[in-house]
Amino acid sequence: MDHPRRNFLQKLVASAAVVPLLSPYRALAQADRASTGSHQGKTLRVALMGLGSYAARVAEAMQSCKRAKVAGLISGTPSKLQEWGTKFGVPEKNRYDYENFDRIKNDPDIDAVYIITPNALHRDQAIRVAKAGKHVICEKPMAVNAKEGQDMVDACADAGVKLLVGYRMHFEPKTLEVIRMRKAGDFGSISFFQGLCGFRIGDPDQWRLNKALAGGGSLMDIGIYAINGARYMVGEDPVWVTAQQTKTDPVKFKEGVDETIQFQLGFPSGAVASCLSTYQMNHLDRFFMTGEQGFAELQPATGYGPIEGRTHKGELTQPHAMHQTIQMDEMAGILLDGNTPVVPVDGEEGLKDLKIIDAIYAACGTGRKQELRLG
């Protein structure tokens, strides 16, 4: 990374509010750890890249993991490397900055790097991690467009490492129960899905409202949950999309940064989806799906939890656990044991969502239906 971008990122990351590390998450983590007991098998040793608020949540959650641990840190802020290294027991030799992290190639204490930086940085950082011979875990969206996503998939394949995407909902118990019921035929033929995802975003100067770093606006941050959720709830990949964009505040949401997008998806079976992505409305976190024999509703559907839901058979009662704890333990099984998750979390899965995002933006720009070929 060149100096200007490194310095810019340092300022961005330094300005991000870090989740207090002596928080309820720590208490939950300790309770979870006490209840889960010991584990068998190798532990996945993960370096966290980008020490902002979400990385803090991941780091806290990993304290109760049975098969994954924080083993390295990568940041452009020396004070954070010191603070986090002390709190999470990461020795100084396993702390890196954005210029020297290629040296992880010779670090036997790190198996994988979890990239939790602004979207536009994912591609280059993932390629560097892959060239260093480490597995890549990347926050969603995997990149800012499908072309960059394909570059990441190719780089990891060329390096012989795996690429996973931080789809925490793919491991969430109530979500998996709805998927199990759908596969079992409990809902009959699926006809309709609705995904509502949004909130009123705050600080107008944050990187999520900077197209150069975010790649867009609400769709790249919160709308991807509806895109991905439509796919795993319906159980198919869409074949077309239409979309409409609304912008009420062009000062806050500048050119290329979407405020509100409505989009519709069509599936091979004939099922359809109607979704909303917004940075201008609160109380939007709901999935609803109906079929010829029943329905499922999750509300909240994608928040940090607990997820709540019901179907035509009654309330969903699966216990809540920290999503990132489950995610990282399951990803350890994928990377170390070759396990296959119920819903994929690999680079190809991330690439499909990027192709849909590209098509949604194209539909907003042209007003025309976009055909999708995700296979």
At CA 57, angle to CA 52 and CA 59, rounded to 5? Answer: 90
Q: By three-state DSSP, how is residue 218 classified?
A: helix
**Cβ–Cβ contacts within 10 Å for residue 94, how many?**
20
Length reported for the chain: 375
Q: What is residue 30's predicted lDDT score, i.e. its pLDDT?
A: 40
| Per-residue confidence (pLDDT) for residue 27, from 0 to 100 | 39
pLDDT in tens, the chain (375 residues): 444 444 444 444 444 433 333 333 333 444 343 333 344 679 999 999 999 999 999 999 999 999 999 999 999 999 999 999 999 999 999 999 999 999 999 999 999 999 999 999 999 999 999 999 999 999 999 999 999 999 999 999 999 999 999 999 999 999 999 999 999 999 999 999 999 999 999 999 999 999 999 999 999 999 999 999 999 999 999 999 999 999 999 999 999 999 999 999 999 999 999 999 999 999 999 999 999 999 999 999 999 989 999 999 999 999 999 999 999 999 999 999 999 999 999 999 999 999 999 999 999 999 999 999 998
pLDDT for 39: 47
What is the C-alpha to C-alpha distance for residues 110 and 108, in angstroms, rounded to an integer? 6
pLDDT at position 23 is: 39
* Tens digits of residue pLDDT in 73-91: 999 999 999 999 999 999 9
Q: How many CB atoms lie within 10 A of CB 136?
A: 28
What pLDDT is stored for residue 329 in this prediction? 98
| 154 closest CA partner among 98, 224, 146 | 146
Q: How far apart are CA 249 and CA 218, in angstroms?
A: 13
Closest to 276 (Cα-Cα) out of 325, 318, 332, 218: 218
Per-residue pLDDT of 295-315, as tens digits, reads 999 999 999 989 999 999 999
Looking at residue 298, its pLDDT comes to 98
**Would you state the pLDDT for residue 305?**
85
Rounded Cα distance, 263 and 237, in Å: 15
List, in order of start, the domains of the chain with CATH numbers.
3-167 (3.40.50.720), 169-319+346-371 (3.30.360.10)
Q: Which residue in 93, 19, 12 sits closest to 53, CA to CA?
A: 19
pLDDT score, position 364: 98
Tokens of 6: 């490194």
Given a contact cutoff of 8 angstroms between Cβ atoms, the answer to whether 212 and 120 are in contact is: yes
What pLDDT does 41 receive? Answer: 79
Coil, strand, or helix at residue 272?
strand
Residues classed as catalytic:
140, 225
- The pLDDT of residue 12 is 45
pLDDT given at position 137: 99
Give how far the C-alpha of residue 357 lies from the chain's centroid of Cα atoms, to the nearest Å.
14
pLDDT for 136 equals 99
Q: Which of 113, 153, 147 is nearest to 132 (CA)?
A: 113
User: Tokens representing 159?
Assistant: 């390096």
